[in-house]
Amino acid sequence: MAKSYFGFEDHSIPRLQQRGRPTATGLALIAGVIAAALFLNNRFNPQIESLGSQVAAFIEAVEEAPAVAEAAAVQPAAESPEARKQRAIAEFVARRYQVSQEVTLQLVGTAHTVARQHQLDPLLILAIIAVESRYNPIAESVMGAKGLMQIIPHFHLDKLQHWGGAKAVFEPEANIAVGAKIIKEYLGRTRDITAALQMYAGAADDADSIYAKRVFGEQQRLKQVVKPFEDGAPQRADAPGRASPAS
């Protein structure tokens, strides 16, 4: 028996040694833990691997999202034939009159909408805008004509009331809508587009119909722009819609 420093019998060493030896119960417990671990690994490992794959796929999709969005922005959705035609007109007008293409595209779209409402040729409306204001929405003449289609508010207050009054004459949508309505009324009176245009210009007595001829000239230019689309032929680089605008 070991002696302590003070001469007493020291029973701690045998007890420590006894505690250090694995017992049958401890071995059984360790074996049970190992068996449970193996069971859990075999039971849930496929699900864990599947979940890991899903997480990895999600992370990859998130990382690729900016590239996908950028590609979609570079390659816009296919336009309808009508949309391509309006875009070609807007490009031509923007170059010819030195106006933002974004602005001209909106004006072209408005002209087409209004023309359908009044059963008019949208190219005629756009031609009137070209002659009257050269696509300047704040144009104003010494005679008091204002806006894109040079409407004199004093004479057409009844039509402008729907848009909020005389001040609306400088709003593109209101101006085009009122201008088209005036043309439609004059056409109903005269049954002749040339005479209606001369009335619109306040030149009904002009035997040479100079104003109407100017409008028809602009209208013809626009018809050349849209001709490739109406014929169903693909637009070439040298097609009228891509050519330099005529003076």
Q: DSSP string of 180-221?
A: HHHHHHHHHHHS-HHHHHHHHTT-TT-TT-HHHHHHHHHHHH
pLDDT attached to residue 205? 95
pLDDT attached to residue 79? 78
pTM of the shown model? 0.64
pLDDT attached to residue 96? 95
pLDDT attached to residue 88? 96
Residue 144 main-chain phi, psi, to 5 deg = 95, 5
Q: Which residues make up the CATH 1.10.530.10 domain(s) of the chain?
A: 81-230
The listed CATH number (2.20.28.90, 1.10.530.10, 2.160.10.10, 1.20.90.10) that belongs to domain 81-230: 1.10.530.10
Q: DSSP string of 103-127?
A: HHHHHHHHHHHHHHHHT--HHHHHH
pLDDT attached to residue 151? 96
Q: Which long-range contacts (CB under 8 A, 24 or more apart) does 106-110 make?
A: 106/172, 107/135, 107/148, 107/172, 107/176, 110/172, 110/173, 110/176, 110/177
pLDDT attached to residue 183? 97
pLDDT attached to residue 108? 97
Rounded CA-CA distance 85/226 in Å is: 6
| pLDDT tens, residue order, the chain (247 aa) | 544 444 444 444 444 444 555 566 665 666 665 666 556 556 555 555 555 566 556 566 555 556 545 544 544 567 788 999 999 999 999 999 999 999 999 999 999 999 999 999 999 999 999 999 999 999 999 999 999 999 999 999 999 999 999 999 999 999 999 999 999 999 999 999 999 999 999 999 999 999 999 999 999 999 999 999 875 555 443 343 333 333 3
* Phi-psi category of residue 47: left, alpha or beta, with phi > 0 → left and psi -120 to 50 → alpha: alpha
pLDDT attached to residue 230? 77
CA angle 151–194–165, rounded 5-degree value: 15
Rounded CA-CA distance 233/178 in Å is: 35
* Phi-psi category of residue 8: left, alpha or beta, with phi > 0 → left and psi -120 to 50 → alpha: beta
How many CA atoms lie less than 13 Å away from 99 in the CB half-sphere? Answer: 23
Rounded CA-CA distance 130/220 in Å is: 12
pLDDT attached to residue 242? 35
